[in-house]
Chain A
Amino acid sequence: MTQTDFIKLVMPFKDKVFRLAKRLLVSNEEAEDATQEILMKLWKNKQKIAEYKNVEAFSMTMTKNFCLDRLKSKQAQNLKIVHSNYQDNNTSLQSQVENRDSVDWVSKIIEELPEQQKIILQLRDIEAYDFDEIAKVVDMNPTAIRVALSRARKTIREKLTNTHRYGIK
């Protein structure tokens, strides 16, 4: 497999890897490092990945495991990942400042969700994976995924309506 073949293979999902990493690790730099790490690993094993049927699902699983390991080692070192550089590139869609603040708020709510729900929500609502693909990545059965997804969605909306009503931010 040449370099161009590899890039062609990886291009479609490298952003998804990055977004999942960012969802879990929060900071932009951490997510970039993780993505780079994942792509390097894939490149190293390029002979093997050519045989896989679903490289994307495989890479997402790798990303999930890698990020969870990262988080674990961070906790062990007693370091807290600081959410410092969150930025929306596309706020121009929303002209209202108030609205943008609320959109920011969603990411903060998601941050507080359990890791499993974060991953599932990310894969479903942002990357629009179907349940079979999610099942491969998180290694759960579809019913359990549905339940986790429903919980995550309800939690977000509950907290959102609370902030809207009481103005807690």
Chain B
Amino acid sequence: MVLNSIEKLLEKYDNGETSIKEEQQLRAYFAQENVAPHLESYKIMFQYFNNTKQELYTKDVPLKPRKSYIYQWISVAAVAVLMLGILIPNVFGEQETTVETVYTEQQLEAYNQTKEALSLLSSSFNDAASSVSTLSLVSTNFEKGTEKVNHINELAKTTNKLVKKNKKSKN
């Protein structure tokens, strides 16, 4: 290649106006052994560029395929369901056990009727129990009466004895 054209290219190169193709020409020129001595500094530059271009990244990159976290999420969901299962009956349990929500009207009616009948039964039972208690009162009074009668008997006996003694002393 003519030195003249290289020098022109170098001027353009210094001004940053060369195209990629022109730069390739320059590269090719400076890759050879014999270069005009006044262009030695360019040669060093282009040699350096060439050398650096051959540096490679040799390390391996640890590429892990992205893990699917679906199993972890399933376990989380299972725990959540379990917790809800425990919590819901505790929080809302009172409502469910009230009579109004569970039974139908017919059942409710029957329930009320039996309730009334039972209360009737219990009130008459109470009456009977009170009459029984009056009986027991009577019996206790009766016992007291018999005790008093016994006292009278005792008194009578002692008076009889006194009377007998008086008769004997008169004789």
Q: Which residue of B lies closest to A6 (CB)?
A: B63
Q: Does A160 make an interface contact (CB < 8 A)?
A: yes
Q: Which residue of B lies closest to A146 (CB)?
A: B16
Interface contact B16-A18, CB-CB below 8 Å: no
Interface contact B47-A99, CB-CB below 8 Å: yes
Number of interface residues of B (CB under 8 A): 29
Interface contact A154-B14, CB-CB below 8 Å: yes
Interface contact B47-A19, CB-CB below 8 Å: no
Interface string of A25-49 (1 = CB under 8 A from B): 0000000100110011001000000
CA distance A39 to B40 in the complex (A): 39
Interface string of B12-49 (1 = CB under 8 A from A): 01111100100110000000000000001110110111
B interface majority secondary structure:
helix
Q: Which A residues, 77 to 98, have Cβ-Cβ distances below 8 Å to chain B?
A: 88-91, 93-94
Q: Which of B15, B20, B55, B65 touches A15 (beta carbons < 8 Å)?
A: B55
Q: Which B residues, 47 to 67, have Cβ-Cβ distances below 8 Å to chain A?
A: 47-57, 59, 61-63, 65
CA distance A103 to B49 in the complex (A): 9
Interface contact A36-B16, CB-CB below 8 Å: no
- B binding-site residues for A, Cβ under 8 Å: 13-17, 20, 23-24, 40-42, 44-45, 47-57, 59, 61-63, 65
Number of interface residues of A (CB under 8 A): 45
Q: Does A153 make an interface contact (CB < 8 A)?
A: yes
Besides the known contacts A89-B54, A150-B17, 8 further A-B residue pairs in the complex with CB atoms under 8 A apart: A19-B55, A32-B57, A43-B63, A94-B47, A126-B52, A153-B14, A153-B45, A157-B42
Of the listed residues A7, A18, A145, the one surrounded by the most CB atoms of chain B closer than 10 A to its CB is A18
Interface string of A140-159 (1 = CB under 8 A from B): 00000111111001101100
